[in-house]
Chains A and B, each alone.
Chain A
């Protein structure tokens, strides 16, 4: 039997983490992790629930920049008048996650760190045993490719592409202190170890967005208009220095960022870069071929919206 702790500060959570030598899991909302526990994919004995940590400034918009606690609920973000006014891309991305009730518990920190998904892995224990467990679980091959070296589980966060397009950074608190990292550097193109620069006991504390962009665009492809994880999410901005940042998620092990000058970008180049960086395989409810086609459709839609004005 394990333990459950409900620390009221980050310092206390870090102390509990140190005392539990790796055999623990942080819960924030718990809306992602709880399912991994039920499916026997996450078996740490101890739960450290970050849900009671009092975050002082949850959402602070100042001089068109944004500071936000990682413990802010997605519902607060999607309903915040300040965010809707200055960062509607983020409001829309938050609103596209899961369902209205889940968004009341799910946090932005948890969404940034949501676990990668694959149709062969995110299944009940019985299902996995019947079909054969893959190497991200207890098996030794990838059930999608048959290979032994690489896992292609997909990053499915909807707010991560929006935040990366907005050039966000995150403040991470670990045993040594605080560190600010560009959000794009937190992800690694690996289906098993999909986060980097993040110790096991590190706690995501804050998210900072430096400035309001000139234009924004967001679209998510999924089977139903609600509930479903993404099959493809595209977020794009043109910033005040005319830099285009397009971030595609749901198509690879980590979000794909394309960053170019607005004046030198061509649609051919854009499609080529997206194709080159997209390492997708058939591990979603929607077929790979269709998702690849839709990626081109989304990029062309963004292009015609931005370049026709």
Chain B
């Protein structure tokens, strides 16, 4: 085991980790940040997306050791306390979720995408979220929610 320091959502944590462990398992099992979901665990569903120095990465494929010295942001760090991020707010308002299991991944993919692409078309949104699988909604409402969020973030 290696003793490492991780910066998660602005807080510093000292943890003992296995050298081959992924950041998904470290977040969930050692730091109890279970908002990041473990679903396919093989890069296919997007539920485990987190930010590493602002870039979205799949938690299940990212070695924890690669995250040392970088800023990790999880779904728990995306809202300002009880004030939801516009992406979260519009997913709720537009009924862009049912069981909610894919939602943290959708939020963590959409937030940096909208920061870099402020005025996307529905097709561009669909493409940007094409690595986030949702088994409930049929995607239409998710895409519409992200477009409403873009409008709010732009106004």
Contact = CB atoms under 8 A, between A and B. Distances in A.
Contact of A34 (B2, B19, B61): B61
A20 interface: no
A308 to B, nearest CB: 30
Given A101-B109, A226-B130, A2 B61 contact: no
A34 B57 CA distance: 13
Contacts of B109: 101
Given A4-B2, A227-B130, A104 B55 contact: yes
Given A49-B63, A225-B130, A101 B22 contact: no
Given A37-B20, A105-B61, A99 B46 contact: yes
B63 A47 contact: yes
Contacts of B2: 4
Interface hub of A31, A100, A104 (most chain B Cβ within 10 A): A100
A50 to B, nearest CB: 11
B78 interface: no
Contacts of B128: 100
Interface string A88-109: 0000000000111110110000
A226 B22 CA distance: 24
Interface hub of A27, A51, A99, A105 (most chain B Cβ within 10 A): A99
Contacts of A30: 61-63, 66
B20 A2 contact: yes
Interface in A1-42: 1-4, 6, 27, 29-31, 34-35, 37-39
A3 B42 CA distance: 22
A22 B22 CA distance: 23
Given A47-B63, A51-B66, A226 B131 contact: yes
A47 B131 contact: no
Interface in B28-57: 41-44, 46, 49, 55-57
Contacts of B18: 1
Contacts of A29: 61
Contacts of B22: 34
A2 B18 CA distance: 8
Nearest to A49: B66
Interface string A239-276: 00000000000000000000000000000000000000
B63 A101 contact: no
Contacts of A31: 43, 58, 61
A114 to B, nearest CB: 13
A1 B127 contact: no
Contacts of A6: 65-66
Nearest to B60: A34
B19 A104 contact: no
Contacts of A39: 42
B80 interface: no
Contact of A105 (B1, B20, B58, B65): B58
5 contacts: A2-B20, A6-B65, A34-B60, A35-B61, A104-B56
Closest 9 CB pairs of A and B: A99-B131, A226-B130, A4-B19, A4-B65, A34-B61, A35-B42, A101-B131, A101-B56, A2-B19
Interface of B: 1-2, 18-20, 22, 41-44, 46, 49, 55-58, 60-63, 65-66, 109, 113, 127-128, 130-131
Interface of A: 1-4, 6, 27, 29-31, 34-35, 37-39, 47, 49, 51, 98-102, 104-105, 225-227
Given A1-B1, A4-B65, A35-B42, 16 more contacts: A4-B2, A6-B65, A27-B63, A29-B61, A30-B62, A31-B43, A34-B63, A47-B20, A49-B63, A98-B43, A99-B131, A100-B127, A101-B49, A102-B61, A105-B57, A226-B131
